[in-house]
Amino acid sequence: MKRLKLLGTREKISARLAMPVAPVILVVLLAMVVLTATRGGGSNAEGAHDAHRIVRLATTTSTDNSGLLEMLLPQFERDTGYSIQVLSVGTGKALRLGENGDVDALLVHAPHSEQRFIRLGHGVARRAVMRNDFVVVGPPADPAGLRQANSVTDAFQRLRAHAALFVSRGDDSGTHKKELNLWRLAGVRAWGKWRLEVGQGMGKSLQIADELRAYLLIDRGTWLALQANTSLRVLYQGGEAMHNLYSVMAVNPQRHHTNFAGAEALSEWLTSPVGQRVIGAYTINGAQLFTPTAAR
């Protein structure tokens, strides 16, 4: 099941991918007949106008799980008159949606992959929006001794040395890419059964790690939003290597027929003083989840 969340109206659309083709075609044809019968001759122009007011945004599960989008995007809609359709997926999937022209804009957090996306001509006008950081959470007993680690390299080497159960998102997301980079920094090239790839978003991965009493790399925003629902604790944090940078960019309109004007309006608003204030003001229990980083 693929779910598209329309944050402006809170409407959720579910598409059953396994539905036989013939019923789908029949439903579409019936819908077209109904629309034709109920709308006048100007409906095509009106529909085209409405479509130009919709911006399709692919973004990470961390921006969604943290609750930021529920606060941020409705204000953008009120300020601009655009309506946002959000696909909350891992960064890798978001970039592929952009490559295929299935969305208009991306809000993601994997700088090297984003730069490659721009370099290959899939995206344009990449702008820094905000940052937070990653932390490693795990069981309070901390069998790998991460509390005593003096660097992120030391922390990940301890995980390997103790073969400590570690949940990996394993979904080509920005968090998954960061995790793989941290293993490389620690000189760890291979894993055993102690590292479990679950192919899930951030919230679900946290739930699995909690159930298994395992370690997990998680962005601080999602952690602050969901920590009350878990018995895990932050066991390692800090250092530049744990920084988590978010950028927004538009899909290249020369490659695909997209709503470039809407994507640019979103990018402009997110990096404007108004958007940056909203991002910086978002807190949970008094803790700021994201730091604005747009250069003006």
pLDDT of residue 52: 81
- Specify whether the CB–CB gap between 129 and 248 falls below 8 A: yes
Let me know: does 92 contact 117? Beta carbons within 8 Å. Answer: no
Q: How far apart are CA 134 and CA 129, in angstroms?
A: 17
**262: nearest Cα among 84, 118, 141:** 84
Rounded to the nearest angstrom, the gap between the alpha carbon of residue 64 and the centroid of all alpha carbons in its chain is: 7
CA torsion sign, 150 to 156 to 160 to 164? positive
Res 205: pLDDT: 96
Residue at 76: amino acid letter: F
CATH class, range 2-131+245-292: alpha beta
Contacts of 5 (CB under 8 A, 6+ apart): 11, 12, 64, 85, 86, 87, 88
Token readout for 276 is 């940056």
Q: What is the pLDDT of residue 11?
A: 34
In whole angstroms, what is the distance from residue 53 CA to residue 89 CA? 23
Cα dist. 275→67, 72, 140 in Å?
15, 8, 38
Q: What is the mean pLDDT of each run of 10 residues along the chain (296 residues)?
A: 38 34 40 38 51 91 89 95 94 94 96 94 96 96 97 97 96 92 94 94 94 96 92 96 95 96 97 96 91 86
Class assignment of domain 133-243? alpha beta
| The pLDDT of residue 16 | 29
118 token code pair: 């721009």
The residues spanned by each domain of the chain are: 2-131+245-292, 133-243
CA distances from 216 to 67, 186, 295 (A): 20, 16, 32
| Of 200, 186, 166, residue with least CA distance to 62 | 200
Handedness of CA 12, 18, 21, 26 (dihedral sign): negative
Instruction: Output the pLDDT for position 296.
Output: 58
CB 183 within 8 A of CB 215: no
Q: Do domains 2-131+245-292 and 133-243 have the same CATH topology?
A: yes
- Nearest 5°: phi and psi at 104? -100, -30
- The pLDDT of residue 65: 84
User: What pTM, to 2 d.p., does this model score?
Assistant: 0.77
